[in-house]
Structure 1
């Protein structure tokens, strides 16, 4: 047991995860009165998703979306294929129509840190995130209109502007717990 603890202590933890363990768990325990430390809401995963409707007409478009997601998240995305054919959209079953990445563990913490400290402040006329976009179970989803807010994307090599949906999945039972967790992590919510 001591060897396992030493191995974990020697490993470099993401900055936000360290802050969560040291400060945020105590704050949330006091705020909501949890009896057990396992009741404190935590981060499960982050899903970054992009839909590419033009891929139905031009199959090369999906490659740009996959490349952008790979640069932003550091992980190869899964290509989303159409589940059924829709004639009006000239869409056939099995055609690529988007891509998504699921980040867990340290990668999720590092992505969240980069998102909050580097990417969101680069959005033009940014007034904060809406605090009403919770799903009822403490999970938060928001959209980003262009990929250029991420430092990993080279501005000169953007073929077209792409938006992303980012879903932060937590273990929170209610929206209030999820909101308190994300606010403590540094999410810039608008004043209600």
Structure 2
């Protein structure tokens, strides 16, 4: 009842501009996951970056189930199963980024280009639904909540990963 599992994996690809570059990044995400990505808009105008409010600047896709485990494993293989301690949040989630999507096993296409992306992993224990459901909603007790140390231990046992205190030079 206390085993930890992956609730969802969110892959975000922020291009910083709308147009053809963003649609190519969305095509890369679709090749990777087989799902149609959702576009995200800029919250406010930043003149130095050349973006306007409500302009589509990134795309993301949420993956659950076995496919999430498979893609997470491919992403961690790129990072050589090494993460920093600061990659883990206090609520037991973690994230990391990769520089080039071709490292994930996608064939390089010169017309598409190369895009980096961020992986965000949300972990949960069975019974977490009681805090989210509409009827008879209640809180998850403190012993059942996920902590940073729980997530780190899960990562080290599940993937035989290494957690570093500082980045390697």
TM above 0.5, yes or no, is yes
Structure having the higher strand fraction is 2
User: In the alignment, what sits opposite 1:82?
Assistant: 42
User: 1:68 pairs with 10, 25, 28, which one?
Assistant: 28
Q: Does the 8 A contact of 1:131 with 1:189 survive in 2?
A: no
Deviations 1:65-91 (A, max 9, x none): 001111112211111111222333332
Question: Residues of 1 paired with 2:148 and 2:9: CA distance?
Answer: 17
Pairing of 1:32-51 with structure 2 (within 5 A): 37=1, 39-51=2-14
User: In the alignment, what sits opposite 2:162?
Assistant: 189
User: 2:87 pairs with 108, 129, 133, which one?
Assistant: 133
Tell me, which stretches of 5 or more residues in structure 2 are unaligned?
Answer: 125-144
Q: Over the residues paired in the alignment, what is the CA RMSD in angstroms? A: 2.2
| Residue 143 (1) aligns with residue 97 (2) | yes
Question: Residues of 2 paired with 1:46 and 1:114: CA distance?
Answer: 12
Structure having the higher helix fraction is 1
Question: Residues of 2 paired with 1:136 and 1:100: CA distance?
Answer: 23
SS of corresponding position for 2:11: strand
Question: Residues of 2 paired with 1:182 and 1:128: CA distance?
Answer: 10
User: 1:167 pairs with 94, 103, 120, which one?
Assistant: 120
User: In the alignment, what sits opposite 1:21?
Assistant: none
Q: Does the 8 A contact of 2:13 with 2:58 survive in 1?
A: yes
Structure 1 position 179, deviation (Å): 0.9
Tell me, which stretches of 5 or more residues in structure 1 are unaligned?
Answer: 1-36
| Residue 99 (1) aligns with residue 59 (2) | yes
Query: How many residues are matched?
Result: 145
Task: Flag as ranges the 4+ runs of structure 1 deviating above 6 A.
Answer: none
Question: Residues of 1 paired with 2:45 and 2:35: CA distance?
Answer: 29
**Structure 1 length as normaliser, TM-score?**
0.67
**Larger C-alpha radius of gyration, 1 or 2?**
1
